[in-house]
Amino acid sequence: MAKTILITGASSGIGAGMAREFAQKGYNLAICARRLERLETLKQELESKYGIKVIAKTLDVTHYDQVFEVFKAFKAEFSTIDRIIVNAGIGNGRRIGQGHFDINKVTVETNFISALAQAEAAVEIFREQKFGHLVMISSMSAIRGMPKHLTAYGASKAGVAALAEGIRAELINTSIKVSTIFPGYIRTEINEGAKKLPFEVDVETGSRLLVSAIEKQPVKAYVPQWPWLPLGLAMKILPLKLVNKLS
């Protein structure tokens, strides 16, 4: 029987990209995001191309009660969910102290508080099943404090990484696995208008490498591994002035 993966934020970017990669591997998919019409288009594409089962539902992860309702509905329809990927988030953010508190607040709430709601809902399902794989999508910008538009965003993703590690510690002697994924710069709709970023890859390459890493159920993974694994280690000890050059 095919295994099932739930992916949030699956209507575009790496969410949709990962859905395509997992579908190719024969997984059934529970996909959710705010834009149902995009999800329905993706559902039709993947079902016709790969003969898998896809269920699409509308979910705004900032509506916390809805997170629990949608996850439980997916669980009821598939009976078991083998992997849940907490991916939904926004790349918005502004320089601190320039009158953009509202934008930064929404960024942190969407990326961190919503991730907490998704993790709570996911682990409830996995505890009931007594197995599962929770995947938390963080960011290379979480490794150190970052300047400019990345400050609040990086802080929110650092929170996601710390949350994932705490959950892993809690579940370390169970059959529930927890992975923290640190993507580098991947060109998606969120940043398509931005300048070219250091070591960036396109969304197809990024999604393929993310799925390859996730399939190994790592404790942590930097994606793409080169150059972000050595850079991640270096970022922890380099002077902040040098780290700033990556932003």
CB-count exposure of residue 82 (10 Å: 0-12, 13-18, 19+)? middle
The closest alpha carbon to 114, from 47, 171, 160, belongs to 160
Phi, psi for residue 190 in degrees, rounded to 5:
-60, -40
CA gap 55, 18 in Å, rounded: 15
Note if 50 is an active site residue: no
First-residue to last-residue Cα distance in the chain: 44
Considering the candidates 27, 153, 185, 222, report the single residue annotated as catalytic.
Answer: 153
For 18-52, letters b (16+ CB in 10 Å) and e give bbbbbbeeebbbbbbbeeeebbeebbeebeeebeb
Q: Which positions are catalytic?
A: 153
